Amino acid sequence: MQNPSLLQILMRPLEHKWSKLGDDDDDLVPLLECLTSVTIAAGPSFANWAPIVYERCYRIIHTSLIQYTTWQQNQDLDEPDRSFVIVALDLLSGLVQGLGMQLAPSLNSSNPHLLTLVVACLKHPQASVRQSGYALIGDLAMSCFEVLRPHLPGVMPELIAQLEPSPKVEFISASNNAAWSAGEIALHYGTDPEFQQWVPQLILRLIPILLNPGCPKSLSENAAVTIGRIGLVQPEAVAPHLESFAMAWCQALVDIKDNEEKDSAFRGFCTLIQANPSGISKDFHWFCHAVVRWQNPSAELNEMFSQILQAFRQMAGAQWENQMLSFGPTIAERLRARYNV
């Protein structure tokens, strides 16, 4: 798909259809959905089409928000179809994923700024619009953080409010995307003190999600990953809470397949243990269970596991062998084989 000549062939009929359809034509929805997949797959090769695609998505979102405001003031009118704003947000996510900072000139040239519109989408009463809005926020954090950053004072209060421990069924996907995007924002802020202002509120919303046994599994997993990622960059704010969520955190992520998100979350969790070792003491067996479920941890994470296990072995002294026996043979054997403890 990144071959320019092949992409040109593919885009020719799509461009033809694009030019024929109005912004409120129902056939535009599947076309924008198709283009979302194309932009992600094409990556930088899509650059020639990016400005016109961006401008149309922006126009659709802007118009849809105006229409929705008008409808809220006079509900005798027909409610606007939210499908258009959703697919436009999703296509912008595709552009951001595919082009990254190449898209920054377009993102920064609109008036009002695109992020002003996205924040309005985060306040939209329809959860599906908020869901796509938070997906775009997360993609901007990953690929265009410097574009997103000045607008985070408007984004973060909405994001934090979306993090409910018992969301209605129709709100779950929006909450999932909000939790995920918070983790991406944390990673890209890193140790920058500017992020600290939101950490206490985020932690106070994320921990109850993790501790709620009735919470959807996907939301518990996203909350755990984001707590870990915040812990990686701002451990001093999270470590004092470790004892309250350590067991639930390990249980939420123990069965997740190895990937970079999980790796960064576990590196954060290990950072919290190093900052507050007593916070894991009563749930140390859950940590060990989670450690041995890893197949291919990164070298950095593997070293953190080793350091923590060796430190706890040293602290336990003569009681270490009894502690290992209490874990069961599978965990004990894997810990010995991998980490020589």
Q: Enumerate the domain spans of the chain.
A: 1-162, 207-341
* Cα–Cα nearest to 238, from 196, 210, 208, 209: 196
pLDDT average, residue stretch 239-267: 97
291 within 8 A of 335, measured Cβ to Cβ: yes
* pLDDT band, residue 80 (cuts 50/70/90): confident
pLDDT average, residue stretch 19-40: 95
110 within 8 A of 150, measured Cβ to Cβ: no
* pLDDT band, residue 335 (cuts 50/70/90): very high
b/e sequence 246-277, b meaning 16+ C-beta within 10 Å:
bbbbbbbbbebeeeebbbbbbbbbbbbbeebb
Share of the chain above pLDDT 70, in %: 99
Whole-angstrom CA distances from 196 to 158, 199, 233 are 17, 5, 10
- Model pLDDT, residue 116: 98
Q: Work out the end-to-end distance of the chain between its first and last CA atoms, rounded to an integer number of angstroms.
A: 49
pLDDT average, residue stretch 262-275: 99
Q: Looking at the predicted structure, is the pLDDT value of residue 1 above 70?
A: no
pLDDT average, residue stretch 257-263: 96
Whole-angstrom CA distances from 241 to 102, 124, 201, 210, 280 are 40, 33, 13, 13, 10
132 within 8 A of 121, measured Cβ to Cβ: yes
pLDDT average, residue stretch 127-148: 98
- Model pLDDT, residue 3: 80
- Model pLDDT, residue 234: 97
